[in-house]
Structure 1
Amino acid sequence: MINTIIFDFGNVFINLNEAYTLDYIKHFESSKHYTDIIETNIQFEKGEISKDSFLSKYQSYFPILSKEEIISKWNSILDEFPKYRLDFLKDLKKNSNYKLILLSNTNELHISWIKDNIPFYEDFKSCFDEFYLSHKIQLRKPDKDIFNFILNKNNLKAETCLFIDDNKDNILTADDLNLNTWHLNPKKEDIVDLFKIKSALF
């Protein structure tokens, strides 16, 4: 019996810009600093380096870019947050007894952009019983540590949790730990159809 639902953020609630992602891969994979860039991104998402340190590192990789240009490019992955998904979540919060948890790989710059551009961010946040951002808890998917942290912190049994994410690696780790999972395909599926698509679990 499912009593806890653990949601990802990007491509589950807020849309991500696929064109940006493809451009990012093409641009940075061709860089001689590619390995360093990936490590810097991970450190930033785990809160191991500050925003200023992150920007300084990127300026060393791409001296032609100003800090403002780096921030703009970095945040361009973030797209719209359809209001109907918030409505779905608010209804779920009001009319069910599920424990609702957000678990997102993110960073200071992205959250700052979201706060500035998504007017209902605080309403969204208030729908969750627990709200975990990777750079705040210094843990990151798909590492097992972050899932064990959530389970232990909230006294949860993996078998009673449903984890929803669009990233296959994150899903595989959750599967290994015996959580129920939904590998959501944002091109074909929507979180508001949760109880239709995963009806067998409920």
Structure 2
Amino acid sequence: MIKTIIFDFGDIFINLDKSATPAQLKQFGVKNIPDSILSTNQEYEKGLLSSEEFFNSYKKEFTSIKKDNFLEAWNAILVDFPKYRLEFIKKLAAEKDYQLILLSNTNEIHIDWVKENISFFNEFQQCFDAFYLSYEINFRKPDANIYEYVLQQHNLKPEECLFIDDTRENTDAAAALGINIWNLEPTREDVIDLFTTKKELFS
């Protein structure tokens, strides 16, 4: 029996264009990104670097990049947040049938953009019993410790949880801990169809 639903944010609620940031960075002269920078991206998602340190790591590698261009490219992945998904989670929260948790790999620059551009973000955040952003808790998916952290924080049984994420490695990692999963495919599935798509878990 599902008692807790754990949601990802990107491509579950807010639509993403994952090809946009690399494409824009190339326009600004950032090409052939080395593994060291990819590692830096992950450190930034874990909150182990400040936003200034993060930008400087790119500036050191790609000296021609300007900060405003970098921020424009970095945020290009973020597209829009359809209002009907807000209505879905508001209704779910009002019904109080499930504990609702958000668990997102994200970073300060992206969340700053969301706060500035998504007028109902605070209303969205208030729908959840807990709201975990990777850069605030210093863990990131698919590392097992991020799921263990959430389970421990709320004294949850894995078999009573459903985790929804669009990235296969993230749902695989949760499933390995005994958590029920929905690896949502954003090009053909939508979170608002949760109770029809995964009805076997709620019957």
TM-score, normalization by structure 2: 0.94
Q: Give the secondary-structure state (helix, strand or coil) at the position aligned to 2:150.
A: helix
Residues 1:138 and 1:11: Cα distance change in structure 2 (over 3 Å): same
Q: 1:138 to 1:18 in 2, by over 3 A?
A: closer
Give the structure 1 partner of residue 55 of structure 2: 55
1:18 Cα shift?
4.0
The match for 1:192 is 192
Matched, 1:65 2:65: yes
- The aligned residue for residue 155 of structure 1 is 155
User: How far is the alpha carbon of 1:17 from its aligned partner?
Assistant: 1.2
Secondary structure at the residue paired with 2:132?
strand
Deviation at 1:34, TM superposition (A): 1.6
Cα contact 2:161–2:180 (8 A) shared by 1 = yes
Q: Does 1:142 align with 2:142?
A: yes
Please report how far the alpha carbon of residue 133 of structure 1 lies from its aligned counterpart in structure 2 after TM superposition: 0.2
Counterparts of 1:75-114 in structure 2 under 5 Å? 75-114=75-114
Q: Does 1:174 align with 2:174?
A: yes
Query: How big is the shift at 1:23?
Result: 2.8
Per-residue deviation, 1:177: 0.3
The AA in structure 2 aligned to 1:188 is R
Ranges in structure 2 where 5+ consecutive residues have no aligned partner = none
SS of match in other structure, 1:76: helix
For the residue of structure 2 that corresponds to 1:162, the secondary structure is strand
- Aligned in 2, Cα 1:29/1:151: closer, same or farther, shift over 3 Å? farther
Q: Distance in 2 between matches of 1:25 and 1:76?
A: 10
The alignment partner of 1:6 has SS state of strand
| Cα separation, 1, equivalents of 2:42 and 2:3 | 31
Q: Cα gap change, 1:172/1:21 in structure 2, threshold over 3 Å: closer, same or farther?
A: farther
**Structure-2 change in CA distance of 1:22 and 1:75 (3 Å):** closer
1:139 & 1:86 partners in 2: Cα distance? 26
Q: Kindly tell me: are residues 29 and 57 of structure 1, through their superposed partners in 2, closer, same or farther at Cα, counting changes over 3 Å?
A: closer
Q: Which runs of 5+ in 1 are unaligned?
A: none
Alpha-carbon displacement from aligned partner over 1:120-158 (angstroms, at most 9, x marks no partner): 000000000000000000000000000000000100000
TM-score, L = length of structure 1 = 0.95
Question: Structure 1 CA distance, aligned partners of 2:83 and 2:95?
Answer: 18
Question: Per-residue displacement from partner, 1:3-60 (whole Å, max 9, x unpaired)?
Answer: 00000000000000144156379889952x4201111100100000101100101111
Matched to 2:49, the amino acid is I
Where does structure 1 differ by over 4 angstroms across 4 or more consecutive aligned residues?
24-30
Question: Are 2:158 and 1:122 equivalent residues in the alignment?
Answer: no
Equivalent residues of 2:46, 2:135 under 8 A apart: yes
**TM-superposition CA deviations, 1:76-109 (whole Å, max 9, x none):** 0001000000000000001132000000000000
2:16 match: secondary structure: coil
Which range moves more in the overlay, 16-25 or 94-103? Answer: 16-25
Q: What is the aligned partner in structure 2 of residue 16 from structure 1?
A: 16
Instruction: Measure, in 2, the Cα distance between the counterparts of 1:22 and 1:175.
Output: 30
